[in-house]
């Protein structure tokens, strides 16, 4: 998979991409990440990328021209001296990279051009799972008061927001999107189930399942896997830390009891922090009755 980032600050990414899982995925060639400096696509002496908004108002707006020209350069075969090839496996040449087609003919099942924007659709784990199926994703980072809307209309396939707050630029948002997506690529995490059984994980509970929500060992499936809700709390050694003792059930060796405790703890945390998730999560009868008990005990 390959990411191309269009930004005024290519050096910004040296930090986020150089640690842990991301840096390993780059080193093994699972992912390639190229940054493109938008100022390289300007034609005036001052390398101007912004201008005043039509209709008046505060601040400056990113001009369409450098962004269009940068994307158009990706529409041609990769030229090594054209981009700042910071974040790929050493000595690897990207000759195999396929072109990004113009929006009208782009195959969005393989490629996506994304404008990062506070006005975009919310970025979720489901979005990350979808992006992880693509070959190539282009991320456009805005700055100032934002980006000329024609970039959204004529270049971007989707407008994505990482949350209901306003950042000063799209670079942090791009790093978030890349991190959440790359860890879902096959082979990137050590254990293949790691990204299933965590917050917002794939549904593990099917209320209308003919198997009645049971795994072959007879243990209710509702008691492990997050199933679109938040993960359960985790504890590690020591069992007693400064007088704070972990739940005894976790050391008892009864795996069914542990699964049930974890499911209930996950439901409790979701009810407390993200009750909106419960409305669309697949829940079993056992889950519902536990939630009803919890709600009844709320003040």
Minimum CB separation from ligand SAM for residue 118, in Å?
A: 4
Nearest residue (CB) to ligand SAM, 49 versus 162: 162
Residue 68 phi/psi, 5° resolution?
Answer: -60, -45
Minimum CB separation from ligand SAM for residue 93, in Å?
A: 31
Nearest residue (CB) to ligand SAM, 63 versus 224: 63
Q: What is the DSSP string of 65-94?
A: HHHHHHHHHHTSPP-GGGSEEEES-TT---
* Stretch of 21-29, 77-85, 117-125, 179-187 lying at the interface with ligand SAM (CB under 6 A): 117-125
Tell me if 61 contacts ligand SAM by CB under 6 A.
no
Within its chain, how far is the Cα of 33 from the centroid? 15
Phi-psi region of 218 (alpha: psi -120 to 50; beta: other; left: phi over 0): left
**Number of residues near ligand SAM (by CB under 6 A):** 20
The rounded distance, in Å, linking the Cα atoms of 110 and 265 is 39
Strands 158-161 and 136-140 come out as: unpaired
Tell me if 134 contacts ligand SAM by CB under 6 A.
no
Tell me if 25 contacts ligand SAM by CB under 6 A.
no
**From 10, 66, 170, 225, residue interacting with ligand SAM (rule: CB under 6 A):** 170
Tell me if 162 contacts ligand SAM by CB under 6 A.
yes
Nearest residue (CB) to ligand SAM, 58 versus 276: 58
Tell me if 244 contacts ligand SAM by CB under 6 A.
no
Within its chain, how far is the Cα of 64 from the centroid? 26
Tell me if 141 contacts ligand SAM by CB under 6 A.
yes
* Stretch of 10-18, 111-119, 240-248, 288-296 lying at the interface with ligand SAM (CB under 6 A): 111-119
Tell me if 116 contacts ligand SAM by CB under 6 A.
yes
Subset of residues 142 to 161 that bind ligand SAM, contact rule: CB under 6 A = 142-143, 145-147, 161
Q: What is the DSSP string of 226-293?
A: -TTSPPPP---S-SEETTEEPPGGGGS--HHHHHHHHHHHHHHHHHHH-HHHHHHS---HHHHHHHHH
Nearest residue (CB) to ligand SAM, 163 versus 238: 163
Nearest residue (CB) to ligand SAM, 10 versus 146: 146
Helix, strand, or coil here: 6?
strand
The rounded distance, in Å, linking the Cα atoms of 119 and 267 is 31
User: Do 219 and 64 touch, CB atoms closer than 8 A?
Assistant: no
- 11, 89, 175, 270 from 178: Cα distances, Å: 16, 17, 5, 26
Nearest residue (CB) to ligand SAM, 26 versus 151: 151
**From 23, 119, 124, 289, residue interacting with ligand SAM (rule: CB under 6 A):** 119
Minimum CB separation from ligand SAM for residue 160, in Å?
A: 6
**Within 10 Å of residue 239's Cβ, how many Cβ atoms?**
13
Applying CB under 6 A, which residues contact ligand SAM? 116-119, 141-143, 145-147, 161-163, 165-170, 173
């Amino acid at each position: 998979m390959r990411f191309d980032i269009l930004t005024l600050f290519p050096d910004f990414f040296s930090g986020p991409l150089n640690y842990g899982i991301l840096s390993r995925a780059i080193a093994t060639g699972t992912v390639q990440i190229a940054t493109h400096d938008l100022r390289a696509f300007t034609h005036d002496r001052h390398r101007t990328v912004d201008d005043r908004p039509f209709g008046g108002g505060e601040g400056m707006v990113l001009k369409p021209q450098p962004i269009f020209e940068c994307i158009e350069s990706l529409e041609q075969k990769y030229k090594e001296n054209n981009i700042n090839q910071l974040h790929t496996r050493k000595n690897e040449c990207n000759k195999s990279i396929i072109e990004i087609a113009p929006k009208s003919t782009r195959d969005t099942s393989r490629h996506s051009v994304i404008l990062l924007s506070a006005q975009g659709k919310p970025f979720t784990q489901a979005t990350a799972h979808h992006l992880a199926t693509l070959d190539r994703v282009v991320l456009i980072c805005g700055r100032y008061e934002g980006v000329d809307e024609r970039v959204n209309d004529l270049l971007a396939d989707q407008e994505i927001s990482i949350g209901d707050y306003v950042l000063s630029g799209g670079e942090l948002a791009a790093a978030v999107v890349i991190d959440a997506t790359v860890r879902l690529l096959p082979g990137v995490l050590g254990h293949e189930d790691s990204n299933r059984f965590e917050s917002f994980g794939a549904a593990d509970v099917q209320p209308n399942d003919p198997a009645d929500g049971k795994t072959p060992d007879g243990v209710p499936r509702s008691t492990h896997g997050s199933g679109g809700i938040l993960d359960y709390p985790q504890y590690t050694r020591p069992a007693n830390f400064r007088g704070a003792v972990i739940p005894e059930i976790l050391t008892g060796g009864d795996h069914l009891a542990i699964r049930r405790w974890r499911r209930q703890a996950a439901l409790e945390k979701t009810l407390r922090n993200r009750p909106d998730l419960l409305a669309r999560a697949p829940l079993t009868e056992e889950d519902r009755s536990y939630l009803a008990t919890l709600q009844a005990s709320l003040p």
